[in-house]
Amino acid sequence: MADLKKLNGRPKLEKGRRSNFINVRFTDDEYKEIVEIEQQLGISKTELIRMRILSDVKQTVVNAKELIIHLDAIGAEMGRIGNNINQLARHANTLKLKGTLSPLIIEKFNRLFEDYIQMQQLLEAALRKIIRTMGY
């Protein structure tokens, strides 16, 4: 039993040990801003400052709550646009059956639909870029 050594605390790190210290002072306004960002992102002040200073691309700070709110709004708008397209297509089919559908209307609808598809592709590319930036 005398051979058993009493363990005190967690084991010491061999690599990656942070032993250097930098003292930084902030104004009251700057400190309040840091605290707000800390609360919004759910990370410590130390991690926030370390990420900002070292500017590691893989650790981009993103306000997830705000991002989700904006993505939700975009999704809702895309849903409304899709609904409008379906209504326009249904109306065009009704006019076609009556024989009153103008070729100019068809051409304009096709141009608008192409614009919609381009915007959707740009949105998809932007979302992929956001996901890559977040490091996923």
pLDDT in tens, 57-86: 455 566 777 788 888 888 888 888 888 888
Query: Which tokens sit at 43?
Result: 């990370």
Average pLDDT value for the chain: 81
Q: Domains of the chain: which residue ranges?
A: 28-59, 64-134
Q: What is the pTM of this model?
A: 0.49
Least confident of 6-10, 15-19, 122-126: 6-10
Phi-psi category of residue 135: left, alpha or beta, with phi > 0 → left and psi -120 to 50 → alpha: left
* 87-110 average pLDDT score: 88
Residue type, 72: D
135 band by pLDDT with thresholds 50, 70 and 90:
low
Which residues touch 26 (CB under 8 Å, ≥6 apart)? 34
Query: Could you give the CA distance from residue 51 to residue 55 in angstroms, rounded to a whole number?
Result: 6
Q: Where do we find the tokens 């707000």?
A: 36
**pLDDT at residue number 4:** 62
Q: Which pLDDT score, from 0 to 100, does residue 111 have?
A: 86
Is pLDDT of 6 > 70?
no
Q: Which pLDDT does position 44 carry in this prediction?
A: 87
Q: Do the Cβ atoms of 40 and 65 come closer than 8 Å?
A: yes
Q: Average of pLDDT values for 34-44?
A: 84
* Burial call 85-118: b when 16+ CB within 10 Å, e when fewer: eeeeeeeeeeeeeeeebeeeeeeebeeeeeeeee
Sign of CA dihedral 62, 65, 70, 74: positive
Residue 61 is classified by DSSP as: -
Alpha carbon distance 49, 29 (integer Å): 16
Is it the case that residue 1 has pLDDT exceeding 70? Answer: no
- Percent of the chain at pLDDT above 70? 87
